Amino acid sequence: MGMRGQYVMVDEDSLEQMVEMDGAELLDKLEKLMEGGSEYYDIDKLWEELHVALTGVSASEPSDGDPLSEAVVGVHVFEVEEEDGFFACTEHDELEGIITAMQQVDFDKLEPDGAAEELRQQVKREFAGLLDFYKKALAAGQHVIFSVV
């Protein structure tokens, strides 16, 4: 999974519309939301490394109910064709538990398997950026859509 990951804040109406969309429509809607000023966080290709650092396993094997896994890959996966990408939602009422779990992480004690110090620092910065993004989404009453394309 070496593709680019992005997190986008969406309101309730947008989320309800998106649940009914296919992958191409989802991607188009997310791009329009970002162009229209919706807040987003671009984690680029480091989402996989962040998932491994937090959980010890690949993001291709997310752990249901693990808030650190869900912080990276979302909670509710959209049913789309694999070639269209990956889309998942974290609803507003799920953000607080994820934020709490993230705040308990001591990144200095995490040892990504064989990761060079530069990569380790990049992952640490992405973690901090994602945590800040989730706090903003919670305060704004927004849901978060994670996409990998």
> Residue 4 contacts by C-beta under 8 Å, 6 or more apart in sequence?
42, 44, 45, 148, 149
Q: Report CA-CA distances (Å) from 49 to 33, 67, 74.
A: 27, 16, 15
> Residue 8 contacts by C-beta under 8 Å, 6 or more apart in sequence?
30, 33, 34, 38, 39, 40, 144, 145, 147
In this prediction, residue 1 carries a pLDDT of 41
Instruction: Give pTM, 2 decimals.
Output: 0.92
Cβ atoms within 10 Å of 27's Cβ, excluding its own: 17
Six-digit token pair at 87? Answer: 């889309």
Model confidence at 48: pLDDT above 60: yes
Task: Give tens-digit pLDDT for 67-77.
Answer: 999 999 999 99
40, containing H or E segment: strand 40-44
In this prediction, residue 108 carries a pLDDT of 72
Contact 122, 116 (CB under 8 A): no
